[in-house]
Structure formats: structure tokens, C-alpha cells
Structure 1
Amino acid sequence: MDSLQQLPNIGAVLADRLRRAGVDDAGELRRLGSGRAFEKIRPELPEDARTHTLLALEGALRGMRWTAIPQTERDTLVHRVLGCP
């Protein structure tokens, strides 16, 4: 079992939210992908934290800080999952 908090971008608060939603470890996060994992925790996220949280999950899966994800890829992910332009 891989600890969620060993992944970049995932601190205690996000790890706790993921666990409460049934994402107990890094393997489960990888299996779900960032979009599906995000949808599991979306209802309890403040509106202004949604984009950052989605990108944090994607960065965690890539093994990098979310700010290192190329802007075009960030925009595509946000549009696909959140429906934002």
C-alpha cells in the first residue's frame, strides 16, 4: 500500500478527503485517475479550491508539482473535468 502523502501535492487535508471518499492509497488513486478521484471529493470542496485540487491530483499521478504540468495540458484537463473554458 502506497501512502497518498508520499505523492507530490498531497498533504494531510487532501489525503484525508480522499480516504473519506474511498481512495485509500496511491494505487487506488492511480486506478481511478485524477478526474474520477476528483469527482469523488468534489462535493466537499470549496468552489475556489476545485481547479487547484484537480491539478494537484493530476500532478500527484505524474510525480510532479502541479505547476510543472504544461499550461495547455492543465487547460485541457480543467475544461474536460470542470467544464470551464
Structure 2
Amino acid sequence: MRFHLYVDSETVKASERCNHVDSLIKFAIAYNVDKLSLVLNAYYVFPDCFFSNSSLKHLIVDSWNMKPKCTVSWTSLQNLSLRNS
């Protein structure tokens, strides 16, 4: 299953954006998405659950702020692409 999320700073206010993005990332994780693509052209702090996922095989993250505060554990990850917006 694939999941793509694009968020820019003009879409919604910062506080609402964080809550919506958190919910969507948690949704993707709960449904064992194996290909996740995130384009976040706005400030966002990733939830800890994002960094411990056993179903992700392909991950694309385009974000200028991805600083894990916990151990990263993507045990099934085969392909990782990091970009800086």
C-alpha cells in the first residue's frame, strides 16, 4: 500500500497543520503502508512513532527539518530518499 502526503506552509495554520500531519502519518503507520512519500514544505516535528516502523520498505522524505529525538528503527526499509526542500 502506498501513501503520499504533500503539505505546504500556506495550506493551514501551523498548529492545525501539525495535528493533521500527525494524524495522517499515524494512519499510514496503522495501516502498514510499505511505501511512504512525504513532502513537507513547512516546519514540522515528526512524531516518535514515525521513526519506529516495521512495515516501511520505501521511504521518501522531502523536508528541511527531520531530527529524530529517538532511535530510528525501520527494520524492513530497503530504499531511503532524503531531500531538503
Per the normalisation by structure 2, the TM-score is 0.31
Higher helix share: 1
Per the normalisation by structure 1, the TM-score is 0.31
